[in-house]
Amino acid sequence: MSLYSRRLPWSFSPNSFTRLIDGKRRAGDPVLDLTISNPTEVLSPYPHAQIGEACASIADLTYRPHPLGAESARNEIARLYGTYGVALTPRQIALTASSSEAYAMLFKLLCNAGDEVLVPVPSYPLFEYLAALECVRTVPYRLAYDGSWFIDFHSLRKSLSPQSRAIIVVNPNNPTGSFVKAAELVQLLDLTLDRDIAIISDEVFMDYPFQEDALRVPTLAGQDSILTFCLNGLSKMAAMPQMKLGWIVTSGSAAQRESACERLELLLDTYLSVSSPVQAALPELLKIGKENRRKLRQTIAANLRALKTELTGQPVHVLQSEGGWSAILQLPHISSEEIWATRLLQEENVAVQPGYFFDMASEPYAVVSLITPEETFTEGIRRIRRLAGEY
């Protein structure tokens, strides 16, 4: 018996890779960090004053909580989806402090202890934690690569069980950068039609496509055949993770939406975790966020060009990708990912994320952040090329 809950089965000591980076930093070695995912550290200049002014100009801070969030803020988000061509009512929108919190709420809404949610692999490593903390099991389904990424429906079908309560899609996915295609959505809806199962579509990177493509489904919001929850928030779309505002858009038939919304309302009322100032400042934050996004997209485009310039004809291959903040590099198959990542750090002072962080099916891969400042990124990629070129 332990004093603590079995929901926290993980080791609390940092992994060898984190220890190595910490050691480098303590020794004062100038590490080129290609793992950076915090936009407040990469946008230069970051609009601190503008965000401060947006919050300072709020005239009324009387506390009038609504479980789904302030109606004015939800109207603003409905207007935003209008610009994507999706008509929503404010009742379909529920505010949360973050997408992570949205997952916690949705797992509470949909799952009993021991139930299962299907998660794409490779994808966001936090799913395992978010699910386990709600006593829910993650069951992987495969994303396959044959020059571009696609959902392996054979694997998805095999992963379904009577305990499956939700299928998570990440659109576009992290780190593969793959969007859900219209033909895939048809198959997905088909698969879920006669089951008590919902779709959770994580769309936090939807505003970062590399190019337009009519075959993609930019958002699942507004589809009316299956109960679907779309997640987004200021963290990525406005480059403001510190403001702590995310949202859930509920779609499906009118009856499905209402039965989910009344339960979500009760769940969210129990916590009321979104601060009033961020809700009041939302219209202004979305405007500032648009410019942040434009600058990040510029950096991403420059870094994609650098990958092409530096790695064409080299033994490091960039996997095809369509959007998001990451790129996956396939390294020469002469050693394990662990050894590659360690050598890059020790010999070239370059930090990358090994593919196994995201459960890549084979190795060796390195995941690099496309929001890394351009000079650091290009120099980091040159050093990866140099080490790989020794073989």
Ligand X SMILES: Cc1ncc(COP(=O)(O)O)c(C=O)c1O
> Contact positions toward ligand X, by CB under 6 A?
37, 98-100, 124, 170, 174, 202, 204, 233, 235, 241, 246
Closer to ligand X by Cβ: residue 218 or 388: 218
Beta bridge partners of 264: none
Distance CA 124, CA 359 (A): 9
Query: Please, what is the minimum distance in Å from the beta carbon of residue 96 to ligand X?
Result: 8
Cα 258 to chain centroid, rounded: 27
The least CB distance from residue 274 to ligand X, in Å, is 12
CB of 234 to ligand X, least distance (A): 8
Smallest distance, Å, CB 232 to ligand X? Answer: 8
Distances (CA, A) of 314 to 88, 146, 345, 384, 385: 48, 20, 20, 11, 7
> Least distance in Å: CB of 253 to ligand X?
26
Q: Which is nearer to ligand X, 249 or 388 (CB)?
A: 249
Q: Which is nearer to ligand X, 75 or 100 (CB)?
A: 100
| Shortest Cβ 237–ligand X spacing (Å) | 9
From CA 116, how far away is CA 163, in angstroms rounded?
5
Rg of the chain taking only CA atoms, in angstroms: 21
Nearer to ligand X, 251 or 369 (CB): 369
For 135: left if phi > 0, alpha if psi spans -120 to 50, otherwise beta; the answer is left
- At its nearest, how many Å lie between ligand X and the CB of residue 52? 21
375/360 Cα distance (integer angstroms): 28
Per DSSP (E only), the strands in the chain are: 32-33, 93-96, 116-121, 137-145, 149-151, 164-170, 198-202, 228-233, 246-251, 317-318, 326-330, 350-351, 353-354, 365-369
Structural element, H or E, at residue 265? helix 254-271
User: What is the rounded CA–CA span in Å between residue 158 and residue 156?
Assistant: 5
Q: How far is the CB of 202 from ligand X (least distance, A)?
A: 5
When the beta carbons of 81 and 247 are compared against ligand X, the nearer one is 247
- Output 95 or 384, the one with its CB closest to ligand X: 95
- Cis upstream peptide for 125 (omega within 30°): no
Residue 103 CB coordination number (10 Å):
29
Residue 317 CB, nearest approach to ligand X (Å):
23
Nearer to ligand X, 170 or 281 (CB): 170
Residue 164 or 174 with smaller CB distance to ligand X? 174
Of the two residues 246 and 289, which places its CB atom closer to ligand X in the complex? Answer: 246
Is 298 in contact with 189 (CB distance < 8 Å)? no
